[in-house]
A and B are shown apart, each in its own frame.
Chain A
Amino acid sequence: MIEYTIAMVMVGSSLVGCISGALGGFAVLRKQSLLGDSISHAALPGIAIAFLITLTKNPVLLMAGAMIAGWISTLLVMAIVKRTIVKEDAALGMILSVFFGFGLVLLTIIQRLPTSNKSGLNHYLFGSAATLLASDIKLMAVLSVITVIGLLLFWKEFKILSFDSDYAISLGYNVNHIELILTFLTVTAIVIGLQTVGVILMSAMIIAPASAARQWTNRLGVMIALSALFGAISGLIGATISSQVDRLPTGPTIVLVMSAFVAISMVFAPAHGLIWKRNRRS
């Protein structure tokens, strides 16, 4: 019989791993791995402003703030890339630093406000998976369902957008709309994960499972499913390990497990793995 707290953490971590793995697959294929980093760092001022406006720590409101901020940051990156000579990686880096810096400034301001009850926003930096409440899990579950439905509904649109967006336009697709939907789902996935692993480590959750999964298959559907699976298992194992050891933070443990998946995949996977390649040569 699994204890209540540990059950909460395991379920929450698995959900986060699953959804961020699935959407990370597309981010990695589109060479937008930094996007996860940028959105999660950009979410910080959103959370801070949501707190400043409402002065409660209602997680729904804070997540809404995170989503809006993540959203705005992505739109800004797109605008910069379209209208200036700055390329995508530089734009992502710029927006990441500016928003995150702004978020830290807001946190400093908040820490001296004359209302009690306001600390805890710091927990969004590294996550506090151990204190996930049933209400948090419910919210995460709802958002996860939305994400999965979105993925299934728009599967072929995401596929063609990622592979050949010019061709998609020639077919009549409004590529901007597809991109908007994919970004919306990605932002949702990231926001789900913020409470568990925090702003700083969230990008690993987007990149690692997808990178591991890519090594094992050449089919998109399998890759995305594997990525979700790796993410979920990492979340589960990470949560379990950290719950057995005293004072081991959950977020970083999950990321370490994920990194192990990536390392193992890179070495051992057939067709793409290093050992396989070496054997083929000899």
Chain B
Amino acid sequence: MNTVVPAVSVKDLTLAYRDQPVLWDIDMDVPQGVLMAIVGPNGAGKTTLIKAILGLLKPSAGKVEILGTSYRQNRQNVGYVPQRGTVDWDFPTNALDVVLMGRYGHLGWFRRPGPNDRQLALDALDQVGMVDFADRQISQLSGGQQQRIFLARALVQDAQVYFMDEPFVGVDAATEKAIVQVLKNLRERGKTVIVVHHDLQTLTEYFDWAFLLNVKQIALGPIETVITPENLRAAYGGRSALFGNK
């Protein structure tokens, strides 16, 4: 595999929702093997950016490449951990079943998960410390436990690039530590991890790269170069300076 190709390459990405720009002219090249945070104020377009890259939202303009080719050809290589709130946790299923869904991409349309897939799912659960909860109904899990099985679901795909949307919101401290450890392990193995992150305090401790944006991009690169007072001011202060009052 070509290690020079950026993990994710975004050019001129623009997305408008009912005449309001949500993302404007984003250029982003993320090298492989980094643990990168996407940060910005509320409404900056962070979740939208991830969804646009994954093809969940249609951009008004721009191009996205994963590992040098289109996303469509590379789906096997991408793992996605959506926000916990996007799913109804009263759905009748257990933790193992949810993680097994990560194998559906490999199985294709008509095949059912087999014993091999079950084992992989149990291994993934083990990685996040949830193997004892395999049979548990998901509505009986705490926020942190739910987040872990979401992560396990992405892990079981054994992807090259991972996208996560606010995985640390509403989880207990132990879970947060455990997840960060998993992410760092992924990076050690050469994977690329891109995380929408809400908490500026923990940025430098958890991540090595950052992408700061507020509808338009402000800065991209190693943490120290991105998280500077000028950049933060540009992102978090005086929003109206960019596009007029909302």
Interface of A toward B, CB cutoff 8 Å: 29, 31, 153-157, 159-160, 162-164, 166-173, 214, 217-220, 222-223
Q: Does B80 contact A (CB under 8 A)?
A: yes
Are A156 and B104 touching (Cβ within 8 A)?
yes
Are A218 and B94 touching (Cβ within 8 A)?
yes
Residues of A within 8 A of B137 (CB): 218
Residue of B nearest to A29 (CB): B91
Residues of B within 8 A of A31 (CB): 88
The answer for the CA separation of A170 and B54 in the assembled complex, in Å, is 6
Are A167 and B80 touching (Cβ within 8 A)?
yes
Residues of B within 8 A of A170 (CB): 54-56, 75, 78, 80
Q: A166-B56, A167-B82 are in contact. Are A160 and B93 (CB under 8 A)?
A: no
Are B86 and A166 touching (Cβ within 8 A)?
yes
Residues of B within 8 A of A166 (CB): 51, 56, 80, 82, 86
B218 CB to closest chain A CB (Å) equals 27
Are A163 and B94 touching (Cβ within 8 A)?
no
A154, A163, A217, most chain B CB atoms within 10 A: A163
Q: A29-B91, A156-B113, A163-B101 are in contact. Are A172 and B86 (CB under 8 A)?
A: no
Are A220 and B80 touching (Cβ within 8 A)?
no
Q: Does B246 contact A (CB under 8 A)?
A: no
Q: Does B105 contact A (CB under 8 A)?
A: yes
Q: Does B243 contact A (CB under 8 A)?
A: no
Other A-B pairs beyond A29-B91, A157-B109, 5, CB < 8 Å: A156-B104, A160-B104, A166-B56, A170-B54, A223-B92
The answer for the CA separation of A112 and B106 in the assembled complex, in Å, is 60
Are A219 and B112 touching (Cβ within 8 A)?
no
B227 CB to closest chain A CB (Å) equals 29
The answer for the CA separation of A217 and B139 in the assembled complex, in Å, is 13
The answer for the CA separation of A74 and B67 in the assembled complex, in Å, is 39
The answer for the CA separation of A219 and B98 in the assembled complex, in Å, is 12
Residues of A within 8 A of B75 (CB): 170-172
The answer for the CA separation of A29 and B80 in the assembled complex, in Å, is 23
Q: Does B233 contact A (CB under 8 A)?
A: no
The answer for the CA separation of A217 and B87 in the assembled complex, in Å, is 19
- Pick 12 A–B contacts, CB within 8 A, sort by A: A154-B109, A157-B109, A159-B93, A159-B101, A164-B101, A166-B80, A166-B82, A173-B104, A217-B92, A218-B137, A220-B91, A220-B97
Q: Which of B94-130 contact A (CB under 8 A)?
A: 94, 97-98, 101-102, 104-105, 107, 109-110, 112-113
Residues of B within 8 A of A173 (CB): 104
Residues of B within 8 A of A155 (CB): 112
Residue of B nearest to A214 (CB): B92
The answer for the CA separation of A159 and B87 in the assembled complex, in Å, is 13
